[in-house]
Amino acid sequence: SKMYNLPFAYPGFCDKKWEEFLGFGENEESIKELKKRGYKIRKIPYFNGTQKSIELTRKIVESYAGKKVILCTELHQFYANQYEEMPYIKKKFENAKARKADNVIFQPDELNIAIHIRRGDIVKGQESGEQGLVKRWLSLDYYTDIAKGIMEKAEKKPHFYIFSQGEESEYRIFEKYGKVTYCLDMSERDSFLHMIRADILVMSKSSFSYNPALLSDGIRICPSGFWHGYPSNEKWIIIDEVTRQRKVDN
Share of the chain above pLDDT 70, in %: 91
Provide the pLDDT for residue 130.
Answer: 62
Report the C-alpha gap between 182 and 164 in whole angstroms.
8
**CA dist list (Å): 118 to 88, 149, 162, 202, 208:** 27, 20, 10, 11, 9
Report the C-alpha gap between 201 and 155 in whole angstroms.
17
Q: In the predicted model, what is the mean pLDDT of residues 36-59?
A: 89
Res. 250 pLDDT band, cuts 50 70 90: very low
Q: In the predicted model, what is the mean pLDDT of residues 130-152?
A: 81
Report the C-alpha gap between 186 and 189 in whole angstroms.
8
Residue 61: CA count within 13 A, CB half-sphere: 15
Q: In the predicted model, what is the mean pLDDT of residues 43-48?
A: 84
More confident residue, 243 or 221: 221
Provide the pLDDT for residue 166.
Answer: 86
Provide the pLDDT for residue 137.
Answer: 59
Task: Indicate the average pLDDT of the chain.
Answer: 89
Query: Do residues 18 and 189 touch, judged by C-beta distance below 8 A?
Result: yes
**CA dist list (Å): 67 to 6, 44, 73, 159:** 13, 15, 17, 56
106-133 pLDDT per residue, tens: 999 999 999 999 876 655 545 655 655 5
2-42 pLDDT per residue, tens: 889 999 999 988 899 999 999 999 999 999 999 999 999 99
- The residue type of 207 is S
**CA dist list (Å): 168 to 172, 185, 189:** 7, 10, 21
Instruction: Quote the DSSP letter at residue 166.
Output: S
Q: In the predicted model, what is the mean pLDDT of residues 55-80?
A: 88
- On the question of pLDDT at 174 being above 50, the answer is yes
Q: In the predicted model, what is the mean pLDDT of residues 88-97?
A: 95
**CA dist list (Å): 64 to 48, 56, 84, 190, 227:** 21, 13, 28, 42, 34
Report the C-alpha gap between 42 and 6 in whole angstroms.
14
Query: Do residues 218 and 226 touch, judged by C-beta distance below 8 A?
Result: no
Provide the pLDDT for residue 238.
Answer: 95
